[in-house]
Chains A and B, each alone.
Chain A
């Protein structure tokens, strides 16, 4: 592992040079070292999954996001490392004939909502501002941890977005939009602040490729469901639920991901082949020019799974029951009894007390700057016009 780290620090050097130098050596350990060099140098994984559409007929966008959420969780990324943003609630929507479920296929086999879902940003909280704040880390200090993207320079981040989009923009909740330039700038901020090691950006909207064409930060790989000028189409409707359940691109991506397990060696080239034009009708696109490594060396689990460096130890640890703690706390309990007087519960509706209580006066605050300034101005004007000698009439 340390070897991989060292090589990664010199990631600026082209891979070809080192490969040549390796060709000279004939040691058996070279293969391992070479393999480790082409492995990513990340130590933790994060995922930011965003569904930007509101209203019941956009059920499929929530299903898209939840499918990716499910795959990512299944492959090992824990909830604390996933920021899930759903702009509307489909599972408990009054129009959902099967409450607490979101299905991806009309045979209703797979409930992608599951029993263990944690949505971090929901409903009205999914806004462009919150999304950009999550990415760049400029969050108000009182934000809870589950709503923060606490990535560092060794994090691989998966960003998945879906909704309604156009040429150069993505619509948020039918009331605002984010442009591709804003998104590219946000990623640049992340790069400057060393908030990611490598970033995989997947977008499933109409004309999705327009969203990644402005990226200029290194180590970003992007996939989109359709090219500029093309629409991404939905997969199939369900007659019982009454809406389209998923979009085609994400449906086939989900099918592909269901085959992956945490120790799978499938690489990104296979992900690029998912959903050819015959199945998707639109042409999925990808962009790898900003990415340092060759996509065929990038494992799917580098982004969708979670790094788990586990060392199994065979030694046993024995814990001693600390009798000191138990005794002292027991003594305190006894001490408490003597100190306090008997307590009582409050009366829930003391009518007599309520009738006779006086309304609490608001705390008096001295007049603020504006009022003072206004009065000063009035007095100044008065004395300028009439002269200072009139002051004796006031005092």
Chain B
């Protein structure tokens, strides 16, 4: 009986959702090792790398991108696989059953604001997106696509079963395989997006269960739902593709990448301060790397280390840095390797802290809001402008209606807003000496100069002519006319009806004119009046 060398391996056989029957017991398996000792004689067939990239964004927010990458050196299509170690069985069975070449599934809540945050590593559309390349051995691609989306809806607790021919397309140019590909017949590609899909804890839970260390060790301990969903942007994805096994690229490995990107809002999470730490972001700190991972690293983007007169301070100090051209610009990253015992040794946990330090000179703002018909707005700001830059200051205002007596006789001309004043201390190219006011010409002694390195200048902007909404000034006249008419007609009629009395009048027997008329009538033969 060979003796047990080294340690033992234990893992929980948790039922993958939707796949196996329920087994609430944990299995304890003792692996008795051969006399070779700890570790296998052959290199392991699969490996895990985990990585967290923390990027402070220009707007004061912070983006965190997790990536868990399992690489499995196996030809899934050819051999019947029965032993799964790091690669999750739920996905491995999918690949062999539906003959997948590539699978990309993402769940996103929010939108990546490139204008404020810069370019993303990997963006995904809001909702659920699924695109799949099938192998060219598949005969009925549409049937496999429908069955695949149903199975995925069970695994990830999402309504992916709503994917059908009404929301599936076959792109011909925009989606090429991201992994190894011999030929690209787009007949084997399917793409669908469900924008209404909500992302919540029930989608994160099965995603976490696919990780080899689940959420128990390594970087995945930071994945707590109540922090991850309190963000401006949350995107989790699963990407499966074949990659080169070695530099010669003679054989295939399967790569599974699980990515999760979140952006923590400075206002909501940071309470307005730009100080970040792992504890503030995730309410957890890192204690150990995942024992199954070959690499477990945290990268912090320190490119803007010295920009805008603010210095980024990272605590604890990194031992190594990594520099490269990422997305077109040269970036520097501080690297924290969790396998390096020195990092975690001191305090048993790693709580990265990022602090922005401003130089002591602060800005100054004085704002006095207007009071109607009493005083105007006053806004004074002291700003430090960076060199070779454009700074725009804009104020929003709303137009309101004034009282009709407050309008000028020509209201359609508009109302004037006074010009703004810019008082600036501009650095001189050439140092000036202090002048004697009596000796120098008058044009040199307009402003008192304290030191020769700057000169003072006061500039003005143009006045603003604002068109306020103008009422129809003929309305009072119209109203008076209408009212008077109505009053006259109604009230007058009522008054008359109520107060008019009728009297019977005797017809008069006639006057001279009547007798004359009757004479003429008799002469004509017409009956008399």
Contact = CB atoms under 8 A, between A and B. Distances in A.
Interface of A: 76, 78-81, 89, 91-92, 98-101, 111, 113-120, 122-125, 142-147, 306, 308, 310, 316, 318-321, 323, 325-326, 329-330, 332-333, 336-337, 340-350, 354, 357, 359-360
B250 interface: yes
B339 interface: no
Interface stretch (B59-67, B148-156, B279-287, B358-366): B148-156
B226 interface: yes
Contact of A318 (B32, B45, B157): B32
B202 interface: yes
A122 B198 contact: yes
B500 to A, nearest CB: 63
A319 B150 contact: no
A344 B250 contact: no
B6 interface: no
B414 interface: no
Contact of A337 (B34, B155, B177, B250): B250
A317 B178 CA distance: 45
Nearest to A99: B229
Interface in B122-158: 146-147, 150-151, 153-155, 157-158
A60 B75 CA distance: 51
Interface of B: 1, 15, 17-22, 24-25, 29-34, 40-42, 45, 73, 75, 79, 83, 109, 146-147, 150-151, 153-155, 157-159, 161-162, 172-173, 176-182, 184, 186-187, 196, 198-202, 205-206, 224-226, 228-230, 244, 248-252
Contacts of B180: 343-346
Nearest to B243: A345
A106 to B, nearest CB: 18
A112 B224 CA distance: 15
Contact of A329 (B15, B45, B147): B45
Contacts of A114: 201
Contacts of A329: 45, 79
Contact of A144 (B155, B196, B198, B251): B155
B201 A91 contact: yes
B18 A124 contact: no
14 contacts: A80-B22, A100-B225, A124-B196, A142-B147, A144-B150, A144-B153, A146-B18, A147-B18, A319-B30, A326-B42, A336-B75, A337-B250, A342-B248, A346-B176
Contacts of B20: 80
A145 B154 contact: yes
A119 B154 CA distance: 10
Given A321-B33, A345-B179, A117 B173 contact: no
Contacts of B161: 125, 142-143
Contacts of B224: 115
A117 B155 contact: no
Given A115-B205, A118-B206, A343-B249, A144 B172 contact: no
Contact of B150 (A143, A310, A321): A143
A354 B151 CA distance: 33
Given A122-B158, A144-B155, A340-B251, 8 more contacts: A91-B200, A92-B199, A100-B226, A117-B205, A142-B146, A144-B18, A146-B17, A333-B73
Contacts of B251: 333, 336-337, 340
Contacts of A91: 200-201, 229
B200 A92 contact: yes
Given A144-B155, A146-B157, A337-B251, A117 B33 contact: no
B293 to A, nearest CB: 22
A355 to B, nearest CB: 9
B109 A101 contact: no
B18 A145 contact: yes
A229 to B, nearest CB: 37
Given A78-B22, A124-B159, A142 B230 contact: no
Nearest to B75: A336
Given A321-B31, A343-B252, A80 B154 contact: no
A99 B33 contact: no
Contacts of A323: 34
A344 B176 CA distance: 13
B247 to A, nearest CB: 10
A346 B183 CA distance: 8
A336 B75 CA distance: 9
B24 A122 contact: no
Contacts of A81: 22
Nearest to B160: A144
Contact of A340 (B147, B153, B154, B250): B250
Nearest to A325: B83
A337 B244 CA distance: 11
Query: Most A CB atoms within 10 A — which of B19, B73, B201?
Result: B201
Given A99-B226, A346-B176, A119 B202 contact: yes
Determine which residue in A142, A146, A341, A343 has the highest number of CB atoms from chain B within 10 A of its CB, and name it: A343
